[in-house]
């Protein structure tokens, strides 16, 4: 039986960079999740009888919301829902399942790299039939709907047993509980040279993956330990836990420090990697070398032909605006198209669908390709292992040789988290007012060449996105970028991105913060970060 439930709108259901993310107690308010789910369905057309994919990163509240989605999908008229066993599907795996089975779309439950638990973060995101995050046109429609919603519809039925693979009936709709790993692992085996990686590992190359108590554990175990022959225990924190074991599942130098220190220690592994809550982010560390996400994109693009899935070369590269220009130099040399988009994986979808780009990346530890329409942590890790196995050089050697050939883009991001929202908005407004007067001004040795508020016109559908971050570009290719995060759940997070290009290989060994020191202080001078935020330094430096 389908029940129609009267409800009242919540005013704060505007999706951010990647879906709606809020604290669990916010989602647990009466009808809060239901309102948003119904708003998604009300914003879509033509799904009657079609399939929907549902899964999440296993965080606290995942199972409860999955049951709601199943019952509401049945009431909305979907023909089938495919859900990962245990409610688990990594974000890239969900994208793959949507594409492989030609589903109408998917709902992914995750707050990505943010902590999980009864008072921590949760999220709901809608992905379209190409497997990628819904474009702004749809997220805007969902938000508009959520502001006026008056009722939702739900099937009165018992909960589905999410732990048993098989087909079940829910009020006339089929629920297929699927193995969350199998399709994804098979795809990775098609793309990469597993035989070469197996030889590398059996030859003594030690690989460690930290799944951070989050979703990639079962995927990494199947692929690294079972299919590639790494010893048991090579995947750490491999069981997805509702609170990620108390970890902050963000693979960066702060939250994956233990792994980093281990790889850097004298008798540590040769290669370390980590993924985030929902498996789309990655961090890659080789002995003596942390690979910045921006360099990772450039190096993967330059070496793409090492992997069987990319043996014919790549069509083009895209990166988000704050990501360093390292990949641009590769595109130029290889004669490939290069696209600079706003922050958010959703902006890559059209370019990939149109065949303009194959490989995409973001400074926020995201790298991926057109094999799915999300960034893909394990994909990036396997790509690196494939490159190391084929080139028979260490990560550090590969990175250094890349810099020697293309020059080095020194790069760092400084985050000021949980800043007062008014102060953060005030800082950005003041910067916008200064934009016109900045070009031509000199700060020490740095002369401003241009300054703007980044706007993007999608080359495929012509849609325009404005206010995507303030860029101050200096002569010689250095720049600072200021942006407010669209994924935080408390206060505002100010991001400062700093980049300096150094073509001279004799100057490639400077410590990153030292290499960027003058730009960092100029950024503070221009934006008055310390004064306006009341902070004497960033919360996180990556
Ligand atoms: C999401 C988006 C990414 C974006 C990142 C950071 O990642 O999918 O495209 O780069 O947020 O966004 P912001 O700087 O606005 O916080 P994830 O891994 O959180 O889904």
Question: Where along the chain do its domains lie?
Answer: 2-179, 183-406, 408-541
Query: Among the atoms of ligand 1, which is closest to the Cα of residue 486?
Result: 15
In the chain, the percentage of residues whose pLDDT exceeds 70 is: 100
Query: Among the atoms of ligand 1, which is closest to the Cα of residue 487?
Result: 16
The token duo for 172 is 């006339």
In this structure, the strands spanning 80-88 and 173-178 are parallel
Closest C-alpha residue for ligand 1 atom 14: 485
The token duo for 313 is 């070369």
Query: Among the atoms of ligand 1, which is closest to the Cα of residue 362?
Result: 10
Query: From residue 135, how far is each of 140, 183, 347, 488 by CA, in Å?
Result: 9, 25, 7, 20
Q: Is the CB of 344 under 6 A from ligand 1?
A: yes
Look at residues 267, 250, 277 and name the one whose alpha carbon lies nearest to residue 89.
277
Look at residues 186, 474, 483, 446 and name the one whose alpha carbon lies nearest to residue 364.
483
Cα 150 to ligand 1 centre (Å) = 31
User: Using the 8-state DSSP alphabet, how is residue 337 labeled?
Assistant: E
Q: Is the CB of 345 under 6 A from ligand 1?
A: yes
* pLDDT at residue number 17: 78
Cα 309 to ligand 1 centre (Å) = 26
Closest C-alpha residue for ligand 1 atom 9: 344
Q: Is the CB of 487 under 6 A from ligand 1?
A: yes
* pLDDT at residue number 528: 95
Closest C-alpha residue for ligand 1 atom 2: 344
Q: Is the CB of 91 under 6 A from ligand 1?
A: no
The token duo for 300 is 């993967």
- Determine if residue 35 is left, alpha or beta; phi over 0 gives left, psi from -120 to 50 gives alpha, anything else beta: alpha
* pLDDT at residue number 102: 98
Instruction: Answer yes or no: are the C-beta atoms of 307 and 328 closer than 8 Å.
Output: no
Query: Among the atoms of ligand 1, which is closest to the Cα of residue 320?
Result: 10
Cα 17 to ligand 1 centre (Å) = 6
Question: Within the chain, which residues score under 50 in pLDDT?
Answer: none
Q: Is the CB of 364 under 6 A from ligand 1?
A: yes
* pLDDT at residue number 232: 97
* pLDDT at residue number 115: 94
Q: Is the CB of 174 under 6 A from ligand 1?
A: no
In this structure, the strands spanning 173-178 and 166-170 are antiparallel
Q: Which of 109, 276, 487 to mutate to test the pocket of ligand 1 (most atoms within 8 A of CB)?
A: 487
Q: Is the CB of 329 under 6 A from ligand 1?
A: no
The token duo for 362 is 């973001």
Q: Catalytic residue numbers?
A: 112
Query: Among the atoms of ligand 1, which is closest to the Cα of residue 91?
Result: 20
Count of CB atoms situated within 10 Å of the CB of 117:
17
Q: Which of 345, 349, 415 to mutate to test the pocket of ligand 1 (most atoms within 8 A of CB)?
A: 345
Q: Is the CB of 362 under 6 A from ligand 1?
A: yes
Q: Is the CB of 539 under 6 A from ligand 1?
A: no
Compute the mean pLDDT over every residue in the chain, rounded to the nearest whole number: 96
Q: Which CATH architecture has domain 2-179?
A: 3-Layer(aba) Sandwich (3.40)
Query: From residue 367, how far is each of 108, 374, 381, 454 by CA, in Å?
Result: 19, 9, 10, 22
Cα 495 to ligand 1 centre (Å) = 12
Q: Is the CB of 43 under 6 A from ligand 1?
A: no
Q: Which fold has domain 408-541?
A: TATA-Binding Protein (3.30.310)
Cα 345 to ligand 1 centre (Å) = 7
Query: Among the atoms of ligand 1, which is closest to the Cα of residue 493?
Result: 16
Q: Which fold has domain 183-406?
A: Alpha-D-Glucose-1,6-Bisphosphate; Chain A, domain 3 (3.40.120)
Closest C-alpha residue for ligand 1 atom 4: 344
Which residue is listed with tokens 């600079």?
A: 340
Cα 468 to ligand 1 centre (Å) = 13
Q: What are phi and psi of 118, to 5 degrees?
A: -55, -25
Element housing 126 (H / E):
strand 121-127
Query: Among the atoms of ligand 1, which is closest to the Cα of residue 343?
Result: 10
pTM of the model: 0.94
Q: Is the CB of 17 under 6 A from ligand 1?
A: yes
Look at residues 271, 279, 295 and name the one whose alpha carbon lies nearest to residue 386.
271
Q: Is the CB of 247 under 6 A from ligand 1?
A: no
């Amino acid at each position: 039986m389908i029940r129609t439930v009267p409800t009242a709108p919540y005013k704060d259901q505007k999706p951010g960079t990647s879906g709606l993310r809020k604290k669990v107690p916010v989602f647990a308010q009466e009808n809060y999740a239901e309102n948003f789910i119904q708003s998604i369905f009300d914003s879509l057309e033509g799904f009657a009888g079609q399939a929907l994919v549902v899964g999440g990163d296993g965080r606290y509240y995942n199972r409860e919301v999955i049951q709601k989605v199943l019952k509401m999908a049945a009431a909305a008229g979907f023909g089938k829902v495919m859900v990962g066993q245990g409610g688990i599907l990594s974000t890239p795996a969900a994208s793959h399942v949507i594409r492989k089975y030609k589903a109408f779309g998917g709902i992914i439950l995750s707050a990505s790299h943010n902590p999980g638990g009864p008072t921590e973060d949760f999220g709901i995101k809608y992905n379209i039939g190409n497997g990628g995050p819904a474009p702004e046109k749809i997220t805007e429609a969902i938000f508009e709907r959520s502001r006026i919603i008056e009722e939702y519809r739900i099937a009165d039925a018992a909960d589905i047993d999410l732990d048993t693979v098989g087909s079940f009936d829910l009020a006339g709709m089929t629920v297929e509980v699927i193995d969350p790993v199998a399709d994804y692992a098979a795809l990775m085996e098609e793309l990469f040279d597993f035989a070469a990686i197996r030889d590398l590992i059996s030859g003594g190359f030690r690989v460690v993956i930290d799944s951070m108590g989050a979703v990639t554990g079962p995927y990494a175990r199947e692929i690294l330990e079972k299919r590639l022959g790494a010893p048991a225990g090579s995947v750490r924190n491999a069981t997805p836990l509702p609170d990620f074991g108390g970890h902050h599942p963000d693979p960066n130098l702060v939250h994956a420090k233990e792994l980093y220190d281990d790889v850097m220690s004298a008798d540590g592994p040769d290669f370390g990697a980590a993924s985030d809550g929902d498996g789309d982010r990655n961090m890659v560390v080789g002995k003596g070398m942390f690979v910045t996400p921006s360099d990772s994109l450039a190096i993967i693009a330059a070496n793409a032909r090492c992997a069987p899935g990319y043996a014919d070369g790549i069509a083009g590269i895209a990166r988000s605006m704050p990501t360093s220009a390292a990949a641009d130099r590769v595109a130029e040399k290889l004669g490939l198209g290069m696209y600079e988009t706003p922050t958010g994986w959703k902006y890559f979808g059209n370019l990939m669908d149109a065949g303009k780009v194959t490989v995409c990346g973001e400074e926020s530890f995201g790298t991926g390709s057109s094999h799915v329409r999300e960034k893909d942590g394990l994909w990036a890790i396997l790509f690196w292992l494939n490159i190391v196995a084929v080139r028979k050089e260490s990560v550090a050697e590969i990175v250094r040789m890349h810099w020697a050939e293309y020059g080095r883009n020194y790069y760092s991001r400084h985050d000021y988290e949980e800043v007062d929202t008014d102060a953060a908005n005030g800082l950005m407004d003041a910067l916008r007012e200064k934009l016109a007067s900045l070009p031509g001004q000199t700060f020490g040795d740095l002369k401003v060449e241009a300054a703007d508020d980044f706007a993007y016109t999608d080359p495929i559908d012509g849609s325009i996105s404005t206010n995507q971050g303030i860029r101050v570009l200096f002569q010689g290719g250095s720049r600072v970028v200021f942006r407010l995060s669209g994924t935080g759940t408390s206060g505002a997070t100010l991001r400062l991105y700093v980049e300096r290009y150094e073509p001279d290989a004799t100057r490639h060994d400077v410590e990153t913060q030292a290499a960027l020191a003058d730009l960092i202080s100029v950024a503070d001078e221009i934006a008055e970060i310390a004064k306006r935020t009341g902070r004497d330094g960033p919360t996180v430096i990556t």
